[in-house]
Amino acid sequence: MQIFARNPRQFRKGSLKKQDVKIFREKVNQAGIHPLIIHTPYTLNLAAQKEFLYRISIKEFIKDIKEAGQLGAQYIVIHAGSFKDDEREGLERLVDAVKIVVRNTPGIKTEVLLENTAGEGSTLGYTLTQLGFVFRKLSRVKRAGLCLDTAHAWGAGYRINTNKGLNSFVKEMDKEFGIKRLKLIHLNDNPYEAGSRKDRHAHIGEGRIGRAGFKLIVNHPALRDVPFILETPKSKESDDIKNLSLIKEFYKSGLHQRN
Ligand SMILES: [Zn+2]
């Protein structure tokens, strides 16, 4: 399960109440939910050019990680940030920010996951080369990993909907930062063509990745045991169930082939 632990479109207004945290943990345990993932608000930018925004992002993210720890989350996800000028410089800022937040949250088990982007606007972390650069600099930071969003990878130009495209993508991930850094997958379709750099999510099978693409993705030997989260559009309650059943069906059809 992935949730926002606070309003995703604002800076922090307060803190979680102890009593709420207690009730939440009990309910998660009762329901047997694992892993629990916290998604960070969109207002934070760990590569921000403006010093004020950079500092407030780091400060708030530290607090978010601490709260994620209290909630018992295995992972906290944040987008790789954005930076207008030299990409290398932006990535360096991101690396520094991750080092700072990990250093300032000792003893907390929640791992920090950087999410790949579609490369829309001035967002960073849309190519595997960029992510490789980041994770090599974080080689000694054990509590940092990757959250792979399929709609974003597609938007960035990776044709992960064919055997050949997906295999070369996985191989490149492994070469750039080691597949072990991949901890979570956001399963979303994308309505635009590969390489559009557009960050738009579509229902499973209703975008350009398509049903055949998702069948390959959820059954790929390097990916099938990684937790999957749906971030597909939701206009009615049944949308989630529809997407979830499709993914389960694809996964099951792959199980037969494995035997
Ligand atoms: Zn995502």
Q: Are 160 and 169 in contact (CB under 8 A)?
A: yes
Q: How far apart are CA 37 and CA 60, in angstroms?
A: 17
Where are the chain's structural domains?
2-258
Q: What mean pLDDT value characterizes the chain?
A: 96
pLDDT > 90: what percent of the chain? 96
Give the CA angle between residues 39, 35, 46 to the nearest 5°.
Answer: 25
The amino acid sitting at 173 is: M
Confidence of residue 144 (pLDDT cuts 50, 70, 90): very high
Which two three-digit tokens encode residue 76?
Answer: 């906290």
Q: Measure 115 CA to ligand 1 centroid, in angstroms.
A: 7
For position 259, what pLDDT does the model report?
56
Q: Measure 152 CA to ligand 1 centroid, in angstroms.
A: 7
Q: Measure 120 CA to ligand 1 centroid, in angstroms.
A: 13
Residue 36, pLDDT > 60, answer yes
Torsion of CA 89, 119, 47, 17, to 10 degrees: -160
Superfamily of domain covering 2-258: Divalent-metal-dependent TIM barrel enzymes (3.20.20.150)
Q: String of b and e for 178-196 (b: at least 16 CB within 10 Å)?
A: eeebbbbbbbbbbbbebeb
Q: Measure 199 CA to ligand 1 centroid, in angstroms.
A: 9
For position 219, what pLDDT does the model report?
97
Residue 23, pLDDT > 60, answer yes
Q: Measure 158 CA to ligand 1 centroid, in angstroms.
A: 16
Give Cβ neighbours of residue 164 (< 8 Å, ≥ 6 apart): none
Q: Measure 118 CA to ligand 1 centroid, in angstroms.
A: 10
Question: Helices marked H in the chain — which ranges?
Answer: 18-31, 51-71, 87-103, 128-137, 150-155, 163-177, 210-219, 237-258
pLDDT > 70: what percent of the chain? 100
Region of 26 please: left (phi>0), alpha (psi -120 to 50) or beta. Answer: alpha
Q: String of b and e for 19-42 (b: at least 16 CB within 10 Å)?
A: eebeebeeebeeeeeeebbbbbbe
pLDDT digits (tens, 9 = 90+) for 151-160: 999 999 999 9
pLDDT digits (tens, 9 = 90+) for 52-70: 999 999 999 999 999 999 9
